Amino acid sequence: MTTTDTHCPYCSLQCGMRLQAPHDGGEAQVLARPDFPVNRGALCGKGQSATAVLGAGVRPTAPLVRDKRGGELREASWTEALDRVAAGLAATAQRHGRESVAVFGGGGLTNEKAYLLGKFARVALRTPNIDYNGRFCMSSAAAAHRFAFGLDRGLPFPLEDIAKADCVILVGGNPAETMPPALRYFRELRSNGGTLIVVDPRRTRTAEQADLHLQPVPGTDLALALGLLHLAVADGRVDQAFVAERTTGFEAARTAAMAHWPERVEGLTGVPVHQLREALRLFADAAGGIVLTARGPEQQSKGTDTVGAWINLCLALGKAGRPGSGYGCLTGQGNGQGGREHGQKADQLPGYRSIEDPAARAHIAHVWEVEADDLPGAGRSAYELLDTLGTEGGARALLLMGSNPVVSAPNAGHITERLRALDFLAVSDLVLSETAHLADVVLPATQWAEETGTLTNLEGRVILRRRALTPPQGVRTDLHVLRELAARLGVDKGFPEEAEEVFEELRRASAGGPADYAGISYRRIRAEEGVFWPCPGEEHPGTPRLFLERFATPDGRARFAPVTHRPAAEEPDHEYPLYLTTGRVLSQYQSGAQTRRVPELNRAAPGPFVELHPQLAARLGVADGEALAVTSRRGRAVAPARVTDTIRPDTVFMPFHWAGAGRANTLTNPALDPVSRMPEFKVCAVRVERVR
Ligand code: SF4
């Protein structure tokens, strides 16, 4: 038996696990690691069953190519497949210009892959058009974080601080289903005498454990936060000394909040005034107070402002930049944090640098040994990139790595058509996802237990996944693919295949940037169970807690955001009278590309459903389990009814993990946040009917 300490392939908690592989090639097993400080011996069902996706039966183990559009995929050699991808990309660029070629990455890719993918787009393809599915996941929180504090790290403190706070407000997150081992921190908070307030249109498994559950109308979290700030001002609860010493811009935020008096906010949100007052009292009275947001407030067309409003509340009450207090975002994807730091975002270069900053361009150009003037500028954001595929001025050839937009993109029916309209599509993935099924070439990639690489978890802790198993013959690492493609495109250096070699270059590229990894090495990560960035030197201990002395803005002060309430891009009306909100369930992960291939997870969560309140069910004459059609301006999805009083009567909920007739993202609205360019997954207008 070979035993290797590594990390889970799924969510941003990156639980520590021990992988045991029999020498006779028998099935590997995972055990939770009690000594890893994040999960302390716990794994959820997804992590426990993670080895199931390693089996050769559930994944391609040879490249696949299609000889003509509409033809079948057939097995091919790696040489043929890579030749075809390089030729497809090069021919399109030659015919239509460099911007007609695009790259789409994923928040599950390791730091090394994200880094090399960004470099591949900008150096080998010389296209500005690279973005990734993390744009759909947390970019509004990142934008608000950067505006307020000058730096975005999902949690600017370790998870253990949640347990040490006196009051935590969790807005639009459901860790009981998305990352169950994290729930222990909330339980410890309460057993230490602290209070948990959950804001969610559904009484989720997490909300069931709260001391106070606020159940607002979808898309009104911004008004709710403004109402709480109004009460803080009106009740004289503002921490004037903190505001004066450590912040700027309070007056504009105060003025906006004063237009959101409690009765108005009750009218907008449906949250009773007495609950607003109780929430404010609990949070203001707490010595240590934390606000956490997740996808609920972030995946809105006003997500950046919504998160900004919650940060405003923290700042007004002096609950930031102090031990036991602060604002944080519960990032979702495994490398949702690192994925946005190393250059696979359309507007960023490695080290979390702006692509428009001349000094950043010069630094990265030096590391990459190219001319700064040759680096492209900012490209299209994820939805805009996908929305324009195959159109005049849009990309006509796409290399997609570790993402499944046929299921996970908003307005997914339209995006599927755009993918079909491409001249050339190549997909590198672990499994034959719905998007891979559309590809001209599929490149089968190695997985978590078969390769080494770093990820940065939701706390900013850089961890190391270790290769524990020999991959099946016929699959290759994404780093190998990038090296081979770069060489075929005429760039035969600067694309190493060894992850540690890529990481060494990443360290140099990030040095001096906001996300500084210069002092982090594989050796240190192994020895220290992860290192928190920023870590500018070998002797630096890393930074578990940010902002204790100053914020990362030029003047060291946090900035209030001047935000005000506005409705969702699409509100219910006569034709579409209900809100739809979407989310996740315990036994599936993201687009389900991996977890739908695990029998025990499929048994636990076999398909989509439509959650609706008994009052709405009675009005529609619908029984539990009966087929329902949900229709929005973008399409129609059909799934069985799940009648429950845990949801608001004006709202239906669908999980988004499935393709086919029950695909929730057929319905969702791609209205974009003007700052983060994040789509409004969390609220749109629908009508619901029985399917006879
Ligand atoms: Fe994996 Fe997340 Fe479950 Fe931990 S909580 S085992 S990281 S899916």
What are the residue ranges spanned by the domains of the chain? 3-58, 77-136+335-448+476-495, 139-330, 578-690
Helix axes 303-316, 139-149, angle to 10 degrees: 40
* ipTM of the complex model: 0.99
Residue 39 CA, ligand 1 centroid: distance in Å? 8
Question: Each residue of 499-549: pLDDT tens digit?
Answer: 999 999 999 999 999 999 999 999 999 999 899 999 999 999 999 999 999
Q: Tell me which residue has its CA closest to atom 6 in ligand 1.
A: 47
Average pLDDT over residues 290-319: 97
Residue of 39, 40, 456, 600 best suited for mutating to test ligand 1, as the one with most atoms within 8 Å of CB? 39
Asked if 161 contacts 325 with a C-beta cutoff of 8 angstroms, the reply is no
What pLDDT score was predicted for residue 196?
98
Asked if 678 contacts 345 with a C-beta cutoff of 8 angstroms, the reply is no
What pLDDT score was predicted for residue 390?
96
Q: What is the pTM of this model?
A: 0.96
Distances (CA, A) of 273 to 203, 210, 640, 648: 19, 18, 35, 17
Q: What is the CATH number of domain 578-690?
A: 2.40.40.20
Distance, in Å, from the CA atom of 194 to the CA atom of 163, rounded to the nearest integer, reads 8
Question: Each residue of 147-205: pLDDT tens digit?
Answer: 999 999 999 999 999 999 999 999 999 999 999 999 999 999 999 999 999 999 999 99
Q: Which residues of 410-432 are buried (b: 16+ CB within 10 A; e: fewer)?
A: bbbbbbbebbeebbbbbbbbbbb
Residue 476: strand pairing partners: 445
What pLDDT score was predicted for residue 1?
87
Q: Is the CB of 465 under 6 A from ligand 1?
A: no
Secondary structure E strands in 594-678: 610-612, 627-632, 635-643, 651-655, 669-672
Secondary structure E strands in 106-209: 130-132, 167-171, 195-199
178 is written with which tokens? 């998305």
Asked if 685 contacts 570 with a C-beta cutoff of 8 angstroms, the reply is yes
Q: What pLDDT band is residue 23 in, cutting at 50, 70 and 90?
A: confident
Secondary structure E strands in 447-565: 453-456, 461-465, 531-532, 558-559
What pLDDT score was predicted for residue 350?
96
What pLDDT score was predicted for residue 643?
98
Q: Is the CB of 10 under 6 A from ligand 1?
A: yes
Please report the sign of the dihedral spanned by the C-alpha atoms of residue 437, residue 111, residue 121, residue 378: positive
Instruction: Read off φ and ψ for residue 213, nearest 5 degrees.
Output: -115, 120
Residue of 38, 40, 46, 49 best suited for mutating to test ligand 1, as the one with most atoms within 8 Å of CB? 46
Residue 46 CA, ligand 1 centroid: distance in Å? 6
Residue 336 CA, ligand 1 centroid: distance in Å? 14
What does the longest C-alpha to C-alpha distance in the chain come to? 71
Distance, in Å, from the CA atom of 235 to the CA atom of 289, rounded to the nearest integer, reads 18
Average pLDDT over residues 14-32: 90
Q: Is the CB of 11 under 6 A from ligand 1?
A: yes
Residue 16 CA, ligand 1 centroid: distance in Å? 9
Pairing verdict, β 16-21 and 29-32: antiparallel
What pLDDT score was predicted for residue 200?
98
Q: What pLDDT band is residue 27 in, cutting at 50, 70 and 90?
A: confident
- Chain-centroid distance of CA 625 in Å reads 31
Residue 144 CA, ligand 1 centroid: distance in Å? 26
Residue of 36, 43, 185 best suited for mutating to test ligand 1, as the one with most atoms within 8 Å of CB? 43
Average pLDDT of the chain is 96
Q: Is the CB of 8 under 6 A from ligand 1?
A: yes
- Chain-centroid distance of CA 28 in Å reads 29
Q: What is the CATH number of domain 3-58?
A: 2.20.25
Instruction: Read off φ and ψ for residue 18, nearest 5 degrees.
Output: -110, 125
- Chain-centroid distance of CA 688 in Å reads 29
Query: Percent of the chain, pLDDT > 70?
Result: 100
Question: Each residue of 412-424: pLDDT tens digit?
Answer: 999 999 999 999 9
Q: What pLDDT band is residue 69 in, cutting at 50, 70 and 90?
A: confident
Question: Each residue of 447-483: pLDDT tens digit?
Answer: 999 999 999 999 999 999 999 999 999 999 999 999 9
Name residue, tokens 């209070």. 195
Question: Each residue of 103-146: pLDDT tens digit?
Answer: 999 999 999 999 999 999 999 999 999 999 999 988 999 999 99
Residue 176 CA, ligand 1 centroid: distance in Å? 11
- H-helix segments, 293-426: 295-298, 303-316, 358-368, 382-387, 405-408, 412-420
Name residue, tokens 């002060």. 557
Q: Tell me which residue has its CA closest to atom 1 in ligand 1.
A: 47
Q: What pLDDT band is residue 25 in, cutting at 50, 70 and 90?
A: confident
Q: Is the CB of 601 under 6 A from ligand 1?
A: no
What pLDDT score was predicted for residue 68?
86
Residue of 31, 33, 44, 594 best suited for mutating to test ligand 1, as the one with most atoms within 8 Å of CB? 44
Residue 581: strand pairing partners: 653
Q: Is the CB of 184 under 6 A from ligand 1?
A: no
Distance, in Å, from the CA atom of 670 to the CA atom of 301, rounded to the nearest integer, reads 9
Is the pLDDT at 24 greater than 90, yes or no? no
Helices and strands (DSSP H and E) totals, the chain: 23, 30
Residue 665: strand pairing partners: none
- The per-residue DSSP string of 5-71 comes to EEE-SSSTT--EEEEEE-TTS---EEEE-TTSTTTTT---HHHHTGGGGGSGGGS--S-EEESSTTS
Query: Percent of the chain, pLDDT > 90?
Result: 95
Q: Is the CB of 15 under 6 A from ligand 1?
A: yes
Q: Is the CB of 103 under 6 A from ligand 1?
A: no
Q: Is the CB of 44 under 6 A from ligand 1?
A: yes
Is the pLDDT at 70 greater than 90, yes or no? no
Topology (CATH) of 77-136+335-448+476-495: Rossmann fold (3.40.50)
Name residue, tokens 């609205």. 669
**Alpha-carbon dihedral angle through residues 206, 210, 212, 216, given to the nearest 10 degrees:** 0
Q: Is the CB of 46 under 6 A from ligand 1?
A: yes
Residue of 7, 8, 177 best suited for mutating to test ligand 1, as the one with most atoms within 8 Å of CB? 8
Pairing verdict, β 424-429 and 441-444: parallel
Q: Tell me which residue has its CA closest to atom 3 in ligand 1.
A: 44
What pLDDT score was predicted for residue 509?
97
- The per-residue DSSP string of 363-401 comes to HHHHHHTS-GGGS------HHHHHHTTTSTTS-SEEEEE
Question: Each residue of 557-596: pLDDT tens digit?
Answer: 999 999 999 999 999 999 999 999 999 999 999 999 999 9
Q: Is the CB of 181 under 6 A from ligand 1?
A: yes
Is the pLDDT at 616 greater than 80, yes or no? yes
Asked if 130 contacts 505 with a C-beta cutoff of 8 angstroms, the reply is no
- H-helix segments, 511-635: 522-528, 599-604, 614-620
Asked if 560 contacts 632 with a C-beta cutoff of 8 angstroms, the reply is no
Position 318, amino acid? G
Determine the Cα angle at 477 with ends 11 and 369, to 5°. Answer: 100
Question: Each residue of 598-612: pLDDT tens digit?
Answer: 999 999 999 999 999
Q: Tell me which residue has its CA closest to atom 5 in ligand 1.
A: 179
Q: What is the CATH number of domain 139-330?
A: 3.40.228.10
Q: Is the CB of 586 under 6 A from ligand 1?
A: no
Distance, in Å, from the CA atom of 618 to the CA atom of 616, rounded to the nearest integer, reads 5
Asked if 178 contacts 656 with a C-beta cutoff of 8 angstroms, the reply is no
Residue of 10, 18, 600 best suited for mutating to test ligand 1, as the one with most atoms within 8 Å of CB? 10
Q: Tell me which residue has its CA closest to atom 2 in ligand 1.
A: 11
8 CA: nearest ligand 1 atom: 1
182 CA: nearest ligand 1 atom: 5
Position 325, amino acid? S
Closest CA to 691 of 592, 614, 610: 610
What pLDDT score was predicted for residue 387?
98
Closest CA to 611 of 664, 545, 658, 548: 664
